[in-house]
């Protein structure tokens, strides 16, 4: 059966999970109209570059490090938190690069990771109600009443404060502008030499108190400065000569594409038209725009295609470059890019085969991720891959496994077998966080994760892939380099070289969503990865 016509809005015809209901539809439409006019955050050229780097990851020629917050907050959009997050990813990538001698592809969960899927749409919270007589102190007596309110869905939907839980469309614009400001600061930092590999010790490393980490990292730096071998690999990883060598690195952005209205508004055609040019179908159920192939005039020379080999002509000689250049009219298929981030992924709760999210994802040219966990059937993965990557583009799809340290043995092998039996070339990535969430024993209201579970899931995944003859191409982690005013890292996960204990969690527990590895725990993971990839 032929696939139905796709358009940036064709998802509106499908059932949608984790939907957000806005009361004021006219306000939503106004916001979406504005979003469609705003410029893209990232370009197709950058997106294509990431896709080709991920093809290298899929074939074991590079390693993928993806990490960042579970949910960014608009308040995180400030220079210090951004610098701290960037430093941690850069340091980790350097450690992994040094240990593995593999180029590292860096993708941050940043500049757009605002929306959150929730297991329950509502929650019960305490409200203080003034209901009693005024006491001698002049203060009215109050009582605590439990009320059901909407769950916090992320800063681009509603506010964490219990008074701000109604979805507000204006927050979608807030998401765009906070993403833009964050991305702008990242680009500024990178262009100003923040990632210069000659001075990695400046990357906010001074607050790390662990002498072991200092020692291990100093050894990396010494070796970095000495090792020509390392320099060569690094130069390849950072784009090399064209950009002056070691002064900067590629860093790509990513988020879970949960709010499809927002993603649709930032979906742009490579043929120059923006989503503005198709019918302004901002309400669900309206006619989807028709995707079209357009005639395009271009100058072509076989030898000028960046990746195509120079082919001999019929007479056996190589084409003369001038005689081969000709004007040609060729039909090229229109490509649509999600320009809100380089890489977007489908969450574990929104990957229904016939659902709206899969429909949206199947039409975009970006590299994409799909979360896979214990509830995913092996045959379902194959059907998903066929739907979202019909052209079998290598590295287009990253399968982000999030099984849990105690379940990965049970589920990953069958998933690998199912994909191996197809002609899909995927990136296998281990999300070592989402199958390993537990409640704190000292304060059950706090969620935590044990460092040992994170490491166990990664090392088990590597071993399973080795046995199957496939490659674990990368990791996906929730982490942050953020520190408090006194310079202490967050305390949300247990263990690691800092030996954080359950009772330490409340010391600097800051997340409103899932617990993140802190700066030191992030470096611990990087050193362990470097060791495993070397062996």
Contacts with ligand PEP by CB under 6 A lie at 70, 117, 256, 347-349, 371, 402, 434, 514
Nearer to ligand PEP, 70 or 90 (CB): 70
For residue 347, the partner it binds in Mn ion, ligand PEP, none, with Cβ less than 5 to 8 A by kind, is: ligand PEP
70 belongs to the binding site for Mn ion (CB under 5 A): yes
Using alpha carbons, select from 62, 262, 58, 287 the residue that is nearest to residue 178.
262
Q: x/- string (CB under 5 A) for Mn ion, residues 165-204? A: ----------------------------------------
- For the CB of residue 52, give the shortest distance to Mn ion in the complex, in Å: 28
Q: Which sign, positive or negative, has the C-alpha torsion 421, 423, 425, 431?
A: negative
Instruction: Report DSSP state, residue 494.
Output: B
| Residue from the set 56, 83, 196, 514 that interacts with Mn ion by CB under 5 A | 514
Q: Residues in the chain, how many? A: 535
- Residue 106 assigned to a binding site: no
Using alpha carbons, select from 348, 502, 522 the residue that is nearest to residue 438.
502
The span from the CA of 84 to the CA of 150, in Å, is 32
- Residue 514 assigned to a binding site: yes
- For the CB of residue 116, give the shortest distance to Mn ion in the complex, in Å: 7
The span from the CA of 337 to the CA of 43, in Å, is 8
Bridge-based pairing state of the strands 104-109 and 252-256: parallel
Nearer to Mn ion, 67 or 473 (CB): 67
Kindly calculate the radius of gyration of the chain based on its CA atoms and give it in whole angstroms.
Answer: 25
Nearer to ligand PEP, 123 or 247 (CB): 123
Contacts of 39 (CB under 8 A, 6+ apart): none
Contact 230, 99 (CB under 8 A): no
Q: Is 130 in a helix, a strand, or coil?
A: strand
431 belongs to the binding site for Mn ion (CB under 5 A): no
Nearer to Mn ion, 250 or 514 (CB): 514
- Residue 70 assigned to a binding site: yes
For residue 250, the partner it binds in Mn ion, ligand PEP, none, with Cβ less than 5 to 8 A by kind, is: none
Backbone angles phi, psi at 33, to 5 degrees: -60, -45
517 belongs to the binding site for Mn ion (CB under 5 A): no
- For the CB of residue 464, give the shortest distance to ligand PEP in the complex, in Å: 19
For residue 153, the partner it binds in ligand PEP, Mn ion, none, with Cβ less than 5 to 8 A by kind, is: none
Nearer to ligand PEP, 337 or 403 (CB): 403
For residue 482, the partner it binds in ligand PEP, Mn ion, none, with Cβ less than 5 to 8 A by kind, is: none
- For the CB of residue 369, give the shortest distance to ligand PEP in the complex, in Å: 9
The span from the CA of 122 to the CA of 114, in Å, is 18
User: Which burial class, exposed, middle or buried, applies to 149 when counting CB atoms under 10 A from its CB (0-12, 13-18, 19+)?
Assistant: middle
Nearer to ligand PEP, 156 or 281 (CB): 156
- For the CB of residue 438, give the shortest distance to ligand PEP in the complex, in Å: 15
The span from the CA of 509 to the CA of 499, in Å, is 16
Nearer to Mn ion, 434 or 460 (CB): 434
Instruction: Report DSSP state, residue 4.
Output: P
Write out the residues near Mn ion by the rule CB under 5 A.
70, 514
For the annotated binding site for Mn(2+), the residues are 70, 434, 478, 514
Binding site, by residue number, is 70, 109, 371, 402, 434, 478, 514
């Amino acid at each position: 059966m032929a696939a139905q016509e796709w358009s940036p809005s064709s998802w509106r015809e499908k059932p949608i999970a984790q939907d957000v209901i806005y009361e004021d539809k006219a306000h939503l439409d106004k916001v979406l109209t504005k979003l469609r006019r705003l410029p893209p955050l990232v370009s197709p050229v950058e997106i294509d570059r990431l896709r080709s780097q991920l093809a290298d990851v899929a074939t074991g020629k590079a390693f993928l490090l993806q990490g960042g917050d579970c949910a960014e907050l608009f308040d995180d959009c400030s220079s210090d938190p951004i610098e701290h997050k960037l430093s941690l990813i850069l340091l980790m990538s350097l450690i992994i690069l040094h240990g593995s001698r593999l180029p590292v592809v860096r993708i941050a969960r940043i500049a757009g990771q605002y929306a959150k899927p929730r297991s329950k749409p509502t929650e019960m919270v305490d409200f203080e109600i003034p209901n009693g007589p005024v006491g001698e102190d002049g203060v009215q007596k109050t009582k605590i009443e439990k009320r059901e309110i909407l769950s916090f869905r992320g800063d681009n939907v509603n506010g964490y404060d219990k008074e701000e839980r109604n979805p507000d469309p204006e927050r979608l614009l807030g998401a765009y502008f906070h993403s833009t400001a964050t991305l702008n600061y990242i680009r500024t930092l990178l262009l100003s030499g923040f990632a210069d590999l000659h001075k990695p010790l400046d990357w906010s490393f001074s607050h790390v108190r662990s002498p072991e980490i200092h020692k291990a990292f100093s050894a990396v730096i010494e070796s970095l400065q000495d090792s020509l071998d390392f320099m060569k690999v690094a130069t390849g990883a950072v784009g090399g000569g064209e950009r002056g060598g070691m002064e900067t690195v590629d860093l790509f952005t990513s988020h879970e594409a949960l709010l499809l209205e927002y993603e649709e508004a930032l979906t742009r055609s490579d043929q120059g038209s923006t989503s503005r040019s198709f019918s302004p179908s901002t309400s669900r159920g309206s006619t989807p725009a028709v995707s079209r192939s357009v005639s395009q005039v271009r100058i072509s020379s076989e030898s000028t295609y960046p990746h195509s080999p120079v082919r001999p002509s019929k007479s056996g000689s190589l084409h003369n470059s001038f005689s081969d250049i000709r004007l040609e009219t060729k039909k090229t298929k229109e490509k649509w890019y999600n320009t809100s981030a380089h890489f977007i992924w489908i969450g574990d709760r929104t990957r229904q085969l016939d659902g709206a999210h899969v429909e949206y994802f199947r039409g975009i040219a970006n590299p994409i991720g799909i979360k896979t966990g214990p509830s995913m059937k092996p045959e379902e993965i194959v059907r998903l891959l066929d739907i979202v990557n019909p052209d079998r583009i290598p590295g287009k799809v990253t399968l982000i496994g999030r099984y849990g340290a105690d379940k990965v043995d049970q589920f990953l092998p069958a998933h690998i077998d199912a994909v191996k039996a197809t002609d899909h070339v995927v990136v296998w990535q281990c999300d070592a966080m989402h199958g390993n969430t537990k409640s704190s024993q000292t304060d059950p209201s706090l969620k935590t994760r044990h460092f040992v579970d994170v490491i166990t899931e990664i090392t088990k995944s590597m071993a399973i892939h080795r046995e199957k003859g496939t490659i674990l191409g990368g990791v996906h982690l929730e982490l942050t380099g953020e520190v408090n005013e006194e310079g202490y890292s967050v305390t949300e996960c247990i263990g690691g070289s800092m030996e954080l204990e359950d009772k330490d969690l409340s010391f600097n527990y800051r997340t409103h969503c899932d617990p993140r590895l802190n700066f030191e725990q992030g470096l611990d993971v990087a050193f362990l990865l470097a060791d495993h990839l070397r062996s």
